[in-house]
Amino acid sequence: MYVVKPGCGHVCAPRKHARRWIAATGAATIDGAFTATFENGYVPTQGTFHDVVTGAGGRSGEFSTVTLPDAPQGDKILLVYDGTRVRMLSTDIADLDLNGIVNTQDFLIYLNWFASGNDLADFNGDGVVNTLDLLVYLNLWADG
Ligand SMILES: [Ca+2]
Ligand SMILES: [Ca+2]
């Protein structure tokens, strides 16, 4: 269990007074379950990344089970994996490239999904990709 508290710029380790994410000096191999909660009324702002695990020598693997706190209205919270770390990101639902900001790149990604009929473009969840989804995404993107 990891907790995120006000003033804590990263995901904190579970032990008291050990407010550190896991920072491996070598390679980090990720496995097992990950659970995080917010404490003391902490609410992340859009575009907030919290380091979960960093591996100076690289990162491989992913958590098999992930339980994350509820996102604020209009946002999503998820884990983002890259070559040397795992981060927890709180961002706008319209942020499709998961860089913490909503801009033209996200809109282009959506248009590509939409044009190819990708299920990911089904933003109203009715199982069909059509103009209604484009309007839903457009509204989310515009209020980003
Ligand atoms: Ca983005
Ligand atoms: Ca739809």
- Residue 43, φ and ψ in degrees, nearest 5: -130, 115
Q: How far apart are CA 26 and CA 84, in angstroms?
A: 10
**Distance, CA 91 to ligand 1 centroid (Å)?**
9
**Distance, CA 13 to ligand 1 centroid (Å)?**
28
Smallest-distance ligand from the CA of 127: 2
85 by DSSP, 3-state: which?
A: strand
Smallest-distance ligand from the CA of 99: 1
Q: How far apart are CA 127 and CA 114, in angstroms?
A: 13
Q: How far apart are CA 75 and CA 102, in angstroms?
A: 11
Q: How far apart are CA 117 and CA 143, in angstroms?
A: 24
**Distance, CA 98 to ligand 1 centroid (Å)?**
5
What residues pack around ion ligand 2 (CB closer than 5 A)? 122, 124, 126, 128, 133
- For every one of its 144 residues, what pLDDT tens digit does the chain have, with 9 covering 90 and above? 566 655 555 555 444 444 457 788 899 999 999 988 888 888 888 998 988 899 999 999 999 999 999 998 889 999 999 999 999 999 999 999 999 999 999 999 999 999 999 999 999 999 999 999 999 999 999 986
Domains of the chain with bracketed CATH: 1-92 (no CATH), 94-144 (1.10.1330)
Residues in the chain: 144
Q: How far apart are CA 72 and CA 77, in angstroms?
A: 9
